[in-house]
């Protein structure tokens, strides 16, 4: 039988239960690796005489991932960027020309791995010292958009282009924006960028774009970039799941975040956020604390790392 390209794309995009379980599980291991790296970085970078450049950081997070069960390879070249390099959206550090990671600035790490049970892609932005109020306001607006998209409830078959503005609204409301899509499909131990589903601005509509259906996995990654100064992005992968509302033959959908890694609390200005946004983040951090805490316990990780995880997932 001949299968059209559209239906093969759909078969890949809508994960079966084995693929979904693998994706959820590998994101716990991957989040544990990323969290261990961020703890290492925030500890080491402040030690006298210690110099860590962007490639050192990239190599370190890759090494920690490689020690985890079912690791196969990285899913793409790590974007490890300090200060102004964070504003270069597809930056790749190279020895000799990269920056030293600045202990007094913003650091952005976009990374991921291929595990035999799934594919990861995650971005976390941290400040290694004390952020300015402007940086906090920008980051908080990125976070608000990230949360608003994560909380979206929509009819099955809704195209991602209809949801994109939810992630941009907090930035748009003060005249800010970002020049990339908000989300892309992700394969199961396959391409880290996979169609035919996506979340992008209306002026980036693709005729091949497919409406969202239960079982799809996409990224949720709003950001903000100030050329020559800093960049910030929050990227987690989400699973499209059914809610209990809507007609029996077409329950409305929402997103369940499967990436498990803390979001930088010191960059958050809670005064800008709604109580629903704060509650979402607190619940997310509680889940991160439980799942990563259990994994760190199983792996026999240090008390310092476990204590740090508790500190960075405290309720706002």
Residue with tokens 């508790």: 310
What pTM does this model have? 0.96
Task: Over range 24-53, report the average pLDDT.
Answer: 98
pLDDT at 1 (0 to 100): 59
The 10s digit of each residue's pLDDT in 282-293 is 999 999 999 999
Question: Is pLDDT of 3 > 60?
Answer: no
pLDDT at 2 (0 to 100): 58
Cβ-based burial of 152 (10 A; exposed 0-12, middle 13-18, buried ≥19): buried
pLDDT at 209 (0 to 100): 85
pLDDT at 242 (0 to 100): 98
Question: Is pLDDT of 6 > 60?
Answer: no
The 10s digit of each residue's pLDDT in 65-108 is 999 999 999 999 999 999 999 999 999 999 999 999 999 999 99
pLDDT at 211 (0 to 100): 95
Task: Over range 174-189, report the average pLDDT.
Answer: 97
Task: Over range 36-61, report the average pLDDT.
Answer: 98
The 10s digit of each residue's pLDDT in 138-148 is 999 999 999 99
What's the pLDDT band for 296 if we cut at 50, 70, 90?
Answer: very high
* Angstrom distance (rounded) from CA 292 to CA 299: 10
Sequence-separated (6 or more) residues with CB below 8 Å from residue 260: 27, 28, 30, 31, 32, 287, 288, 291, 292
Q: Tokens representing 49?
A: 């005489």
pLDDT at 5 (0 to 100): 55
pLDDT at 26 (0 to 100): 98
Looking from the CA of 199 toward its CB, the CA atoms found within 13 Å total 29
> Comparing 5 with 29, which gets the higher pLDDT?
29
Q: Tokens representing 315?
A: 């309720």
The 10s digit of each residue's pLDDT in 193-222 is 998 999 998 766 667 789 999 999 999 999
């Amino acid at each position: 039988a001949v299968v059209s390209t559209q239906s093969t794309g759909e078969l890949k995009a809508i994960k079966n239960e084995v693929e979904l379980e693998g994706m959820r599980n590998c994101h716990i291991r991957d989040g544990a690796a990323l969290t261990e790296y961020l703890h290492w970085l925030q500890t080491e970078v402040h030690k006298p005489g210690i110099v860590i450049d962007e490639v050192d950081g990239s190599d370190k997070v890759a090494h920690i991932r490689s020690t985890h069960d079912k690791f196969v390879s990285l899913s793409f070249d790590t974007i490890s960027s300090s200060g102004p390099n964070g504003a270069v959206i597809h930056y790749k550090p190279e020895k000799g020309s990269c920056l030293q990671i600045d202990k007094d600035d913003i650091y952005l790490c976009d990374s991921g791995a291929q595990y035999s049970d799934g594919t990861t892609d995650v971005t976390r932005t941290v400040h290694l010292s004390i952020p300015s109020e402007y940086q906090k306001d920008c980051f908080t607006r990125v976070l608000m958009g990230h949360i608003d998209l994560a909380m979206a409830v929509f009819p099955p078959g809704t195209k991602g282009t209809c949801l994109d503005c939810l992630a941009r609204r907090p930035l748009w409301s003060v005249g800010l924006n970002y020049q990339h899509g908000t989300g892309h499909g992700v394969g199961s131990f396959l391409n880290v960028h996979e169609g035919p589903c996506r979340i992008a601005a209306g002026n980036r509509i693709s005729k091949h774009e497919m409406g969202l259906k239960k079982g799809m996995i996409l990224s949720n990654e709003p950001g903000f970039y100030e050329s020559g100064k800093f960049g910030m992005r929050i990227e987690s992968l989400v699973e499209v799941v059914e809610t209990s509302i809507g007609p029996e033959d077409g329950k409305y959908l929402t997103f369940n975040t499967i990436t498990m890694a803390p979001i930088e609390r010191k960059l958050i200005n809670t005064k800008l956020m709604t109580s629903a946004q704060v509650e979402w983040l607190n619940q997310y951090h509680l889940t991160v604390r439980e799942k990563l805490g259990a994994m760190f316990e199983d792996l026999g990780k240090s008390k310092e790392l476990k204590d740090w995880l508790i500190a960075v997932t405290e309720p706002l």
